Structure 1
Amino acid sequence: MHGAERRRSTSSGGGGDHHHQDNHGDEYDEDGESTFEVEDEEELSTTPWWWWWKRRFTFSNTDSSLTTTGSRSSAASSFFDRLVIHPDNWWYVAWTHFILIWAVYSSFFTPLEFGFFRGLPENLFLLDIAGQLAFLIDIVVRFFVAYRDFHSHRLVYNRNLIALRYLKSRFLLDLLGCLPWDAIYKASGKEEGVRYLLWIRLSRACRVTEFFEKLEKDIRINYLFTRIAKLFVVELYSTHTAACFFYYLATTMPPSQEGYTWIGSLKMGDYSYSHFREIDLWKRYITSLYFAVVTMATVGYGEIHAVNVREMIFIMFYVSFDMILGAYLLGNIAALIVKGSKTEKFRDKMTELIKYMNKNRLDRGISKEIKNHLRLQYDRSYTEATVLQDIPASIRSKISQKLYEPYIKEVPLFKGCSLGFIKQIATRIHEEFFLPPEVIIEQGQAVDQLYIVCHGELEKLGRDEDNETEELLERLQTYSSFGEVSFLCNTPQPYAVRVRQLCRVLRLDKRSFREILEMHFLDGRIILNNLIEGKDLNTRNKLLESDIILYIGKHEMELIMKVNCAAYDGDYYRVKRLIGAGADPNKTDYDGRSPLLVAASKGYEDIIGFLIDQGADAEISGDLLTSSAKKFNWIMYFLKKSY
């Protein structure tokens, strides 16, 4: 798309076009890259200084509902409503890393606060308040961050949709996690039940999980290192949380029974833990962590063990969890050795593709499309051949008919076609996904695939003869088809087709289509007629219709030649099948011979009778048919019957 066209593009409520521009000439594409264009030096000189910071952080949402107003005053009044942050903006990326540090701190400190503190000391309380303020700011920021829609794979900049999505997902947990539970605990008279609400903050651990998922997909970072680091963090966090629980169980006993706990009864040499509350915090934590580690490893030295029933019950559940955790760790390590994980295969394939693209010096646009398509394969896992490869062909056909037949029936191109033809199309079709802004078909290209839209949105784009300006011809929605003119008529593709939203399309190759037409001639004629009727009466389509009409004539001539050949050979059943498939018994070949004339010249009584019953006109061949029939007196009966 040219620069002038990009400046005219606006974003719709569902996510907008692929380029978004604020009032001062900044453009952001969907990959977070920006170009700054200044069209007027006077405008630049009158621009307030704070606009630069606004451009660095955000860009405005040019929603259709806003652009229709067209007034600067209304735009200024709704400044905060239109303020949207691009998720790849480097300021926002820096902010997410800052919040990630706080999320790691909060995830590890929450179990520690629950187990070891009955009210935080002043220094830790102030640190805790600072962390909660950071998360409160993050809650506000999230109401301004655009998101990528799962179905359309387009960035959504509509403030209402962004807010609704966040409110329906993590907003409540994030807000509850920011409450000062330590202050609430003290204000409630140190009610023990309030302290359990601290665990709401563990929802922040999801940010750490998301961070590791991104690292695993980043081919710049060693995959083995990333996986081992993730497994180590999982194991460390499990033992850390268990250690805090072990100590918490000991502190919930009455002071008179503290000796009847695992730590109160502990003796190491001459050192006794009988008054463990007075021991240094670091020593208590290390002792608890040691107990958790040796229990998880099921070493069982015996110097630390459960004393009361509550501790025994907790250890039973903890050891059961450890067995599951151990299986998870071993399974992941085995997958690392054999390279069997889906993510690792994706990384290896992506690495090879990048090497290939660098070697052949492919331009950035093509490289980007290749990488995006590979990521889509990884995210969607839509390789049907892999999923259905072990299923018998008959069952695969039933699955295809169940999945695709409802879409094929609604396509205008196939309107009026027989059910058998529709079922055959459904069994031969293939499913594909395309990301915006991929171009599926280029203008002028020879097309050997017919495409049907299942989900998503595409656009037809036409160029003038000078190839300078690009014009939007039509929007393609569900049940639309494209590529049919070039596919059926062997002509250059009259327009390009580009993806606007993540699209799921069905693809049929020309060879399969011709094989199906061999059995369904009548449906082929219906399709061609539908193609002519569906075109607008403009100059371009009139030219196309002339090509289509030629193709129809060629198709009918081939069909009548097949009928004549069958009649000449006396193949009654083939003639019957061809006529039943839609062949016209009154059509003549290039030499003016009809099937009835050919059958009469050879004296095939059964074929003559069948053709007359099907409405074959005995007068269509005039004297030639009569002279041929006189040679066979027994044929005259059928001719008289036809008159």
Structure 2
Amino acid sequence: MPPKEDLLRKMIPGTSLWSKLRRWFLGIRIASRKHPYTQYFLKSTQAIDYEINQHFKFYPNMIHPFSTFRIFWESAMTLFIIMTLIVTPVFLTFYFDEPEKWYLFNLAIDSVFICDIVIWFFTGYYDYRTQLIILNPKIVASKYLRGAFVINVLPVLPLEFFFVLFKSMWYLAALNLLKILWMQTVIKYSRGLYYVYEINFHLYKIAEISVIIIVCVQWAACLEYYLPLAVAKMVGQNDASWILSSYMEKKKTKFAIYLSCVSRAVIALTTSTHYLDVRTPEDIIYNMILSILGLLGFIYMLTQLSQLMATIQSTRKRHLRLIEELEQYMNYKELSYSLRRRLLSYYDYRNKKGFERNKIIINHVSPYLQKKLLLHNYSRLLNDVDLFKNLPEIVMAQFIGAVHSQIFMSNDVLVKAGARGDALYFIAYGTMVVYNSAEKEICHLEDGAYFGELALLMEDERWIASVIAAENCEVHILSRVDFQNALMSYPNLLTYLQNVMLERLEQTPLLEKIRESDSLMTMTGNVNISSIKIKKKD
């Protein structure tokens, strides 16, 4: 595939400053190769290239959910929403009768939120059900309208304008209280950024809990003062209200009043005894609600902290145990520095891909569920390999448990020219390079490529080319012994499959490629690697 810059120039030609800015803006809207979600969901270079091409071809005006733009926007919006959630209740409460002093500022905040809403209509999403990235604008808009649109748009309706013109419509400003609903957006964005920036899990959880506590206390404190003011507007002033007490009359500044409100809210949330009387109906009901919420919040925080501490201990122990075992092994074997680094990188990659977790789950479920999980995990292998299309399901169910996955790091040799073939190799994720015996590069093998069909059927097969990993790869492997054990009850089927494979052998393009590039090689027909399914290099 041509480099990304060439695609950008093809979409937006020209050398002017405006053309360069448009190319830059388009470049940050496509899938970022460095985005963790891109690497996790798209897996390989081939899949990423395909995704970028599809984006350019069909939806150039859309924003990819794994783009650089989304990283920047979600980072900025996370900080902006937290700031908004802190200042909004202050404006509503302490400038209750002075909307003109904060109206323009609030309008600027709403404008940013409206920009976020508009951007959501142009941002694709990953569909976990179909495992596809959806960029179709109609589908994207439909999903957003049926989802968080109403919750997001209600707090930003510019109804304060009427409040500024007509004091009698003061209650319209109360719609700003709905901005607390944007807290869910903060949590959603922050959890995505946790993976993007690879933040330490424990630091992230501490920060998340801290932000939730600060925002909740802030809103509880401001509502302590806002609620009596709102009730006074509706039914008249109650002299028994705590905001008219002699204690509060001594508070001459808004900051002093604010501190009293914080103190009162914390007392209610912790179900402590108030030093100011709670006598009015609205005050009694509100502080009762705060006490209940405070108790539930305390239980939630205690649970979160307990889980966090348990995770810290288990993660630390598991990590230290693994590192200790690796260090002991590497010291005992007196491995070189480069080999030590490679071994540590291998275990880090294996841990991120969840190989051990997958094995534990499969080994602990019932046989029926185990079979279903294996068929799902290796569905691409079963559907893509031509040989398996001739097999009944009962046969595939017998050998699927013998398929295993291996990780090959960059420059690892998968097979070597001249070695005897004894297995089928299916590249699940990653890119492999094929070299002939003269060490000349022939082609690249990417996601879905496979070779070794003949090795499953014939024992005298030898590789006529070497296959080496170009990047970290995951490969599904099925040995000849396991495959033929599954066919023992079907001897006629084995003979039939051998005849089918031999008929297809001469039609394989890679075989011709190798012959052209290495005239000295003796072709005997035992060319297992000739059955590779490839995407030729341009």
Q: Distance in 1 between matches of 2:374 and 2:236?
A: 73
Matched, 1:424 2:424: no
Q: Distance in 2 between matches of 1:177 and 1:434?
A: 51
Residue 296 of structure 1 is matched in structure 2 by: 269
Cα drift, residue 110 of structure 1: 3.3
**Larger RCO (CA within 8 A; separation ≥ 6):** 2
Matched, 1:105 2:83: yes
User: Structure 2: which amino acid aligns with 1:423?
Assistant: A
Q: Distance in 2 between matches of 1:260 and 1:309?
A: 10
TM-score by length of 2: 0.65
Unaligned runs of at least 5 residues, structure 2: 31-51, 516-522, 529-538
Residue 304 of structure 2 is matched in structure 1 by: 332
1:335–1:120 distance in 2 versus 1, CA, 3 Å? same
SS at match of 1:258: coil
1:522–1:152 distance in 2 versus 1, CA, 3 Å? same
User: Structure 1: which amino acid aligns with 2:264?
Assistant: F
1:461/1:473 contact within 8 Å kept: yes
1:486–1:301 distance in 2 versus 1, CA, 3 Å? same
Q: Distance in 2 between matches of 1:184 and 1:531?
A: 79
Q: Distance in 1 between matches of 2:99 and 2:319?
A: 47
Please point out which of 33, 41, 48 is paired with 2:16: 48
CA offset digits 1:256-307 (Å, max 9, x no partner): 552343444x5xxxx344x79x964323322222122122223x23314542
Q: Distance in 2 between matches of 1:210 and 1:105?
A: 16
Please point out which of 102, 110, 119 is paired with 1:124: 102
Q: Distance in 2 between matches of 1:228 and 1:343?
A: 16
Matched, 1:261 2:241: yes
Residue 526 of structure 2 is matched in structure 1 by: 547
Cα drift, residue 118 of structure 1: 3.7
1:418/1:523 contact within 8 Å kept: no
User: Structure 2: which amino acid aligns with 1:384?
Assistant: N
Q: Distance in 2 between matches of 1:431 and 1:318?
A: 54
2:431/2:445 contact within 8 Å kept: yes
Residue 398 of structure 1 is matched in structure 2 by: 368
1:413–1:460 distance in 2 versus 1, CA, 3 Å? farther
Please point out which of 281, 290, 294 is paired with 1:318: 290
User: Structure 1: which amino acid aligns with 2:239?
Assistant: G
Alignment of 1:43-82 (within 5 A): 47-59=15-27, 63=53
Alignment of 1:469-508 (within 5 A): 471=443, 476=448, 483-489=452-458, 490-492=461-463, 508=478
Q: Distance in 2 between matches of 1:342 and 1:160?
A: 46
CA offset digits 1:348-382 (Å, max 9, x no partner): 89999999999538999x999986765453xxx99
1:493–1:243 distance in 2 versus 1, CA, 3 Å? farther
CA offset digits 1:293-330 (Å, max 9, x no partner): 122223x2331454244444443443333233222322
Q: Distance in 2 between matches of 1:213 and 1:348?
A: 26
1:105–1:170 distance in 2 versus 1, CA, 3 Å? same
Residue 533 of structure 2 is matched in structure 1 by: none
Q: Distance in 1 between matches of 2:438 and 2:129?
A: 37
SS at match of 1:252: helix
Alignment of 1:498-577 (within 5 A): 508-510=478-480, 512-518=482-488, 520-532=490-502, 537-538=507-508, 546-547=525-526
Mean Cα deviation higher: 341-350 or 138-147: 341-350
Q: Distance in 2 between matches of 1:143 and 1:369?
A: 40
Residue 283 of structure 1 is matched in structure 2 by: 256
CA offset digits 1:109-134 (Å, max 9, x no partner): 33344545446543422222222333
Q: Distance in 1 between matches of 2:125 and 2:143?
A: 9
Larger Rg: 1
Matched, 1:251 2:229: yes
SS at match of 1:58: helix
Alignment of 1:206-245 (within 5 A): 206-210=184-188, 212-213=190-191, 216-217=194-195, 224-245=202-223
1:58/1:85 contact within 8 Å kept: no
1:485/1:491 contact within 8 Å kept: no
1:545–1:241 distance in 2 versus 1, CA, 3 Å? farther
2:426/2:475 contact within 8 Å kept: yes
Please point out which of 354, 363, 383 is paired with 2:357: 383
User: Structure 1: which amino acid aligns with 2:483?
Assistant: F
Residue 179 of structure 1 is matched in structure 2 by: 157
2:408/2:414 contact within 8 Å kept: no
Q: Distance in 1 between matches of 2:192 and 2:382?
A: 42
1:339–1:233 distance in 2 versus 1, CA, 3 Å? same
TM-score by length of 1: 0.56
Q: Distance in 2 between matches of 1:462 and 1:491?
A: 15
CA offset digits 1:229-253 (Å, max 9, x no partner): 3322221222222223333332233
1:488–1:321 distance in 2 versus 1, CA, 3 Å? farther
Q: Distance in 1 between matches of 2:452 and 2:243?
A: 76
Matched, 1:6 2:7: no
SS at match of 1:360: helix
Unaligned runs of at least 5 residues, structure 1: 8-18, 28-42, 69-79, 550-643
1:147–1:56 distance in 2 versus 1, CA, 3 Å? farther
User: Structure 2: which amino acid aligns with 1:492?
Assistant: W
Q: Distance in 1 between matches of 2:326 and 2:82?
A: 33
Residue 360 of structure 1 is matched in structure 2 by: 338
User: Structure 2: which amino acid aligns with 1:238?
Assistant: C
Alignment of 1:455-470 (within 5 A): none
Q: Distance in 2 between matches of 1:159 and 1:343?
A: 42
1:219–1:122 distance in 2 versus 1, CA, 3 Å? closer
User: Structure 2: which amino acid aligns with 1:547?
Assistant: N
Q: Distance in 1 between matches of 2:443 and 2:138?
A: 31
User: Structure 1: which amino acid aligns with 2:26?
Assistant: T
Q: Distance in 2 between matches of 1:434 and 1:56?
A: 35
Q: Distance in 2 between matches of 1:434 and 1:20?
A: 30
2:228/2:241 contact within 8 Å kept: yes
Q: Distance in 2 between matches of 1:358 and 1:307?
A: 76
1:335/1:341 contact within 8 Å kept: no
1:304–1:230 distance in 2 versus 1, CA, 3 Å? farther
Q: Distance in 2 between matches of 1:384 and 1:332?
A: 26
1:119/1:185 contact within 8 Å kept: no
1:256–1:211 distance in 2 versus 1, CA, 3 Å? closer
CA offset digits 1:481-501 (Å, max 9, x no partner): 75434455453386969999x
2:429/2:475 contact within 8 Å kept: no
1:335–1:417 distance in 2 versus 1, CA, 3 Å? same
Mean Cα deviation higher: 301-310 or 213-222: 213-222
Cα drift, residue 432 of structure 1: 8.9
1:216/1:226 contact within 8 Å kept: yes
1:225–1:171 distance in 2 versus 1, CA, 3 Å? same
Residue 520 of structure 2 is matched in structure 1 by: none
Alignment of 1:588-599 (within 5 A): none
SS at match of 1:303: coil
1:328–1:105 distance in 2 versus 1, CA, 3 Å? same
Identity of aligned residues (%): 17
1:425/1:513 contact within 8 Å kept: yes
1:313–1:138 distance in 2 versus 1, CA, 3 Å? closer
